Every structure is written in C-alpha cells, then in structure tokens.
Structure 1
Amino acid sequence: METMELHRGRLIDHVQLVVRDLPASQRFYTAVFEVLKIPMGGTGKDYFWADELFISTPGSEAAQGELTGRTHLAFQAQDRSMVDAFHKAALANGGKDNGAPGERPYHPGYYAAFVLDPEGNNIEAVYHGEAHRSAPSVKIKF
C-alpha cells in the first residue's frame, strides 16, 4: 500500500496528465524529477505519480478514456545549475527544446528552461533568483 503526504493550504492539490505513450512519459519525467530532486511516488500498470503530478493512460479509471490537452507546467529549481541539468536531462530523455536555459523578462532573476515532453506539453524548470529565495511568496505582475 502506497502512502502520500497531504499538504493543506496549497492552491493546487494535484494535476493529472493523460498520455498516449506512458513508457516514454515515464522515462522523461523520471529523468527530469531526478535532477529536480523530486522522488517518484509510485507506479502502476497504467499510471505513475510524483508529488502532486499524476500521469496515466486513457485506459486508467481516473482518465475516463480522454487525453488531456496541451498543458504548461513549471517546476521550481533550487538554482540555475538545476535548471541547466533539467534541460539537459529532458532533451536526453525524449524532450524537445522549447527555450534554452536563460534569463527571462518576467521579473529580475527569473532563470528558466522550457522543453516539450513526449506528449507535447510545455514543461519548464524555473529558478527565481536569490532575492526570492527567502521570501514566502512573490507577487508577479502579468
């Protein structure tokens, strides 16, 4: 029996991606999560999960036979080198470049990389910079 830690007070409880090719997605996310220091939570014949991300096939009970549409997910990185390692691991494990590691104009210190996962989802790793490390929350203008 698997156990999960419940986190109260978060905006998002969990996200589910429903994919065509589970083995390709599992290879991609396993490599990405390893460099981001996010442990895999569990696996089954038609799903796997890590933290609050659940990925399954259309045949899983939770998916109800439907694929999810294109999604953008951003994972927090501990520093710039972790963003760089994310990008490298993603490309080596079935991802496609969608924005090399670098500064972005969203706010000072925003350093990110973007890749498309094997299903075409836009996956980002972001480091917000030293100025945002100790702040409990950051307000960003869009």
Structure 2
Amino acid sequence: MSSILTHLTIGSNDLKKARIFYDAVLEPLGIKLIREVEGQRFAYGKDGEEGRIIIVKPINGEAATAGNGITIGLAAPSDEAVDAFYKAGLANGGKDAGEPGPRPAANNSRGAYLYDPEGNKICAFNFK
C-alpha cells in the first residue's frame, strides 16, 4: 500500500505519559507500537504498510510545544473505532477537542478530536 507520508513526528516532554496516551488511542485504529529506543523515541505503524508515527523528545534539547493550527488526522476503520479512540484518549491524559459525531464538512463522516498530553491536536475519522 502506498502512502503520501513516510512518517510523522510528534514532540513530547514526557515520553512515559505520551506512550500511555498513544498506546490507548491508536489501538482502536489498528495502529501498534513497532519500535522503541528507550528514553529517546518510539514508533507506531501497521504491519506491511508504509508510514510511521514517531513520538520523540526534541533532538535540539528544547521543550516540545504543540503546533497551533496543526491537526493530525488518522483513519478509523469504523464509527465504533472513532468512539473508542476518543474514550481512550480522555481516559489516558488527553483532552476533548470535539466529541465523536458527524462532521458536515467531511460528508457527515464520523470523527472525533483530542488534544494529546502536550497539546497536539489529533483526530480520527471513519470516512463514509
């Protein structure tokens, strides 16, 4: 399968907290931990597919900050996965950025938005 992205890197100041959050929200989407360099970074992906989500402490030594206006959109295989993504995020250090429901701008596809523990905005969508 081909993807337009090779990887997406998200900065974190607390890798343990980020690992708990991302393990929880990515699991309902079929995305799993595939590699970890202890204390430095970890990566998620799907078997046999290109593209990775990498969580890392910024290599320049400065604090990680959220990008204002940036949203990371993830594909969900079902409406139930969107709901599970959202619920898992709230239960594991995330904050609401838009509860699950139809999104008129996306042909009424079901989507949900969260802020991760660092304030990065992520969403999951099941496109109809």
TM bracket (short chain): 0.7 to 0.9
Partner Cα separation in structure 2 for residue 107 and residue 88 of structure 1: 21
CA distance in 1, matches of 2:66, 2:90: 22
Distance in 2 separating the partners of 1:120 and 1:79: 25
How far is the alpha carbon of 1:109 from its aligned partner? 3.5
In structure 1, what is the Cα distance between the partners aligned to 2:22 and 2:122? 10
Question: Which structure has the bigger radius of gyration?
Answer: 1
Distance change >3 Å, CA 69–CA 98, structure 1 → 2 = closer
For structure 1, the 5+ residue unaligned runs are 1-6, 130-142
TM-score, scaled relative to structure 1: 0.77
TM score, norm. by length of structure 2: 0.84
1:140 matched residue in structure 2: none
The answer as to whether partners of 1:17 and 1:68 remain within 8 angstroms in 2 is: no
Percent identity (aligned): 36
Counterpart amino acid of residue 16 in structure 2: P
Paired residue for 1:43?
A: 36
Q: CA RMSD in A?
A: 1.5
Classify the secondary structure of the residue corresponding to 1:41.
strand
Instruction: Name the structure 2 match of 1:64.
Output: 60
**Alignment size in residue pairs:** 118
Per-residue CA deviation, residues 100-141 of structure 1 (Å, 9 max, x unaligned), is 000111132321000100000111010111xxxxxxxxxxxx
Query: Which of structures 1 and 2 has the larger relative contact order (alpha carbons within 8 angstroms, sep 6+)?
Result: 2
